[in-house]
Amino acid sequence: MSDLSSATKSLTDRIILITGAGDGIGRAVALASAREGATVILLGRTQEKLEKVYDLIVAENLPEPIIHPMDLATATNEEYELLGRSIDEQFGRLDGLLHNASVLGLLGPVQYFAPESLMKIMQVNVNAAFLMTRALLPALLKSDSGRVLFTSSSVGRAGRAYWGAYSVSKFATEGLMQVLADELANTSAIRVNSINPGATRTEMRAAAYPAENPNTLPTPESLTPVYIYLLGKGSQHLHGQALDIRKMLTELPPTI
């Protein structure tokens, strides 16, 4: 991987949409992106959480973000299309899209996996990402350096017993990334990748591993340099790759 020193490059004037921006990694990346100069579109299910992130950004006199409440479990294609048109009309382009929001669901054997849980997990983790990306592509294509970043998992790259629909949804996420990357490789300036954040101190991790001491895990904030790099112009050489955040962190300059 070449020249990760550009990880510190500013995101000034870039328009970046982050799903799941009210909590965990999404919240941390939203704050870090704003501090790097980006105008952030905060998308999430709970308006109160988004408003708290909005207030933190505004309190630091950073570019004023946009709040867009949306429940990915129930959002319709018309809502995604409206989001795409609104961004296009307000900003004229979209420079970055981070698909961060996911649901874990209950873990257990496939034989006993509840069908309704399967449907919800696939709706949020796969269908929503597909429909949102489709609706936002016209705005992304207007950027001179568009970025689409899908959130994956180790269980989306190697199957693991009892991880059920979540694991399947992350395999589908990797497939969606690969298909989109192949389509856009020679036709646009958009770069598409997936990122596995690994074990991180989040509510989802605590739900999956309730006996684990969260203080032994990296914080979402400690991962943000990689996200800033991947959402910026300096990552143009990365495309169609299944990236691992731990490996990338070791390649960032030690001053980050």
Question: Could you state, in order of their start, the residue ranges of all structural domains in the chain?
Answer: 4-251
| Tens-place pLDDT, residues 36-77 | 999 999 999 999 999 999 999 999 999 999 999 999 999 999
CB under 8 Å to 192, separation ≥6 — which residues?
147, 148, 149, 150, 177, 180, 181, 184, 239, 240
In this prediction, what percent of the chain has a pLDDT beyond 90?
A: 79
| Tens-place pLDDT, residues 235-251 | 999 999 999 998 888 87
| Residue 8 in this model has a pLDDT that exceeds 60 | no
Two tokens, residue 33 = 């992106």
| Residue 177 in this model has a pLDDT that exceeds 90 | yes
> What sign does the dihedral 29-164-170-115 (CA atoms) show?
negative
How far is the CA of 56 from the CAs of 11, 46, 68, 140, 227, in angstroms?
18, 16, 16, 27, 19
Contact (CB, 8 A) for 113 and 34 = no
Give CA–CA dist 241/26, Å, rounded: 21
Give CA–CA dist 115/156, Å, rounded: 20
Give CA–CA dist 226/137, Å, rounded: 23
pLDDT computed for residue 217 by the predictor: 64
Contact (CB, 8 A) for 111 and 137 = no
pLDDT computed for residue 73 by the predictor: 96
Instruction: Provide the annotated active-site residues.
Output: 166
| Tens-place pLDDT, residues 140-153 | 999 999 999 999 99
In this prediction, what percent of the chain has a pLDDT beyond 70?
A: 87
H-helix or E-strand containing 68? strand 66-69
Two tokens, residue 160 = 């693991």
Helix axes 164-184, 115-122, angle to 10 degrees: 30
Contact (CB, 8 A) for 101 and 150 = no
| Tens-place pLDDT, residues 92-136 | 999 999 999 999 988 889 999 999 999 999 999 999 999 999 999
Helix axes 220-231, 24-35, angle to 10 degrees: 60
Helix axes 128-140, 164-184, angle to 10 degrees: 20
| Tens-place pLDDT, residues 178-234 | 999 999 999 999 999 999 997 666 666 656 556 666 666 678 888 999 999 999 999
Under the banding of pLDDT at 50, 70 and 90, the label for residue 7 is very low
Q: How many Å separate Cα 19 from the centre of its chain? A: 6
Give CA–CA dist 181/191, Å, rounded: 7
Domain 4-251 has CATH 3.20.20.210: no
Under the banding of pLDDT at 50, 70 and 90, the label for residue 4 is very low
Task: Specify the higher pLDDT residue, 169 or 204.
Answer: 169
pTM above 0.85, yes or no: yes
Q: Which residues pair with 39 in a beta bridge?
A: 15
